[in-house]
Amino acid sequence: MRILGIETSCDETGVALYDTERGLLADALYSQVAMHADFGGVVPELASRDHTRKLLPLIQQVLDDAGLGRGDLDGIAYTAGPGLVGALMVGASTAHGLALALGIPVLGVHHMEGHLLAPMLEDEAPAFPFVALLVSGGHTQLVEVRGLGEYRLLGESVDDAAGEAFDKAAKMLGLPYPGGPQVAKLAEAGDPARFRFPRPMTDRPGLDFSFSGLKTHTLTSVNALRDAGELDDRGRADIARAFEEAVVDTLVIKCRRALDQTGLKRLVVAGGVSANRRLRERLAIEVGKRRARTYYPRGRFCTDNGAMIAYVGAQRLLAGERDGTAMRAVPRWPLADLTPPTITA
């Protein structure tokens, strides 16, 4: 089956073509980061309009890159949620309209299931079962994965996601949006011994996360340096380093606990924050101590992309799952609601 994947959940328009026998044939991504940077975050209405402008040209680009036409498609998968409802509707309506015109099946898939299974696109893909850390601007979750649709939530953030905390810390430090890569870059010049920020919820059992207190601590530290006249380049770098170390330590501690609790030896790390260099270094050490292995998607598939949607859609469409006649756009959709593929229409 050749499946076209469409991703429009937030501020990136992603399209990809996945063949269940040959693998990924082509993919393309357009990022709206530059447009939203002037506002310090995503503006939903602007995001929806830009998806409308970019989606059809990207679909044609991917087909051209693969040397195929629309008549060569066997199915279409699109992100049905979670995400910004207007942005989701652009992808859903395009997918349903194109599928209806071509007479092929269409299926809305879960955005986070896409991230969860993105490492399956790699040559050395993880085997089931494994523990997954989903860590992005909107989600921080630990999930036990037994198979496609067989997910058990182990822990999640009770407030801010890790990526959201990075963005807010960046704003406090006067850094541009998106904040995660900016904070990480500034932290490289920071002194790790000057400040020690709290590691939230690591002093008690459990696998849940909380980053709102760390955000408050960061703001307090920034204000203290400003009042003392020490919020210079060095001071900002030292705070960035302390903040990054606190987030990374927290994520690593919880991953270690999850592996110990489940007894599993494979850890998948996906989502935008999975690209953080310091996080990867620390996980390599801690996971290695347990004779376990960590799997990541390739760099361009850490953030939102069409390839992960095409892959998940292909697996579920291959199993006979289909949308009905109504398109789906689900802004809030818990990952725990997913089940193994079922024939729906």
pTM score, whole prediction? 0.94
The confidence score (pLDDT) of residue 3 equals: 98
pLDDT, tens digit, for every residue of 191-220? 999 999 999 999 999 999 999 999 999 999
Residue 257's pLDDT is: 97
167 annotated binding-site participant: yes
**pLDDT computed for residue 343 by the predictor:** 65
**Do the annotations mark residue 136 as ligand-binding?**
yes
Confirm whether residue 138 is marked as ligand binding: yes
Average pLDDT, the chain: 95
Find the angle CA(259)-CA(262)-CA(264) to the nearest 5 degrees.
Answer: 60
| pLDDT at residue 137 in the model | 82
What is the pLDDT at residue 297? 96
Is 299 labeled as ligand-binding? Answer: no
Q: Is 111 annotated as a binding residue?
A: yes
180 is in an annotated binding site: yes
Query: Tens digits of per-residue pLDDT, 56-106?
Result: 999 999 999 999 999 999 999 999 999 999 999 999 999 999 999 999 999
Residue 98 sits at φ, ψ, to 5 deg, of -65, -40
* Residue 276 labeled ligand binder: yes
Flag whether 223 is marked binding: no
134 is in an annotated binding site: yes
Listed in sequence order, the residues at least 6 apart from 141 whose beta carbon sits closer than 8 Å to its beta carbon are: 112, 132, 133, 134, 135, 153, 154, 155, 156, 157, 335
In angstroms, the CA 261 to CA 256 distance is: 9
For residue 345, is pLDDT > 70? Answer: no
Percent of the chain exceeding pLDDT 90 equals 93
Helix axes 179-187, 162-172, angle to 10 degrees: 70
Look at residue 245 in the predicted model and tell me its pLDDT: 97
Q: Which amino acid, residue 296?
A: Y
